[in-house]
Amino acid sequence: MLKSVILVWALLSACFVAACSTDPEPLRVWTAADHAHPPENLVDPTRVPQQERPDLTVGELLWQGKCARCHGPTGQGGREASVNFTSADWQASMDDRRIAQTIAAGKPPNMPSFADLLSGTQIEELVKHIRAFGRN
């Protein structure tokens, strides 16, 4: 009697183990994030924004999304950054390469680095946009 109880128990636990190991992945509930746009750095910067807002340049779109909150919408300086990109003196003091490097690497202590958030093309578009501030 004891023998058959042990046998049944062994059989049951074997089935249990087998069932567990072949269980499919638990069902995953889709969230809003699964349907969201791809991250901005994976969107082709020269096409998608142009299609969505043909009235704005790529640089303007990036500026409004990433930079305006600190530098102000018109580049004259804002709450966090005092530098005035519309100033002729500032424009003359920087070359394009240095502007691009500053955007990528940041400028301690308060200018964040954008190397991981923006592609090289996006940074070039921002440099053009910062230059456009100087022509207004």
Establish if 80 lies at the interface with ligand HEC (CB under 6 A): yes
**Per-residue DSSP letter, 111:** B
Q: Is 90 helix (H, G, I), strand (E, B) or coil?
A: helix
Q: Indicate the residue among 29 and 92 with the shorter CB distance to ligand HEC.
A: 92
* Contact letters for ligand HEC, residues 89-108 (x by CB under 6 A): ----------x--xx---x-
Q: How far from 108 is each of 63, 113, 123, CA to CA, in Å?
A: 20, 9, 18
Under 8 Å between Cβ of 62 and 126: yes
Q: Which residues bind ligand HEC (CB under 6 A)?
A: 66-67, 69-71, 80-83, 99, 102-103, 107, 110-112, 114, 126
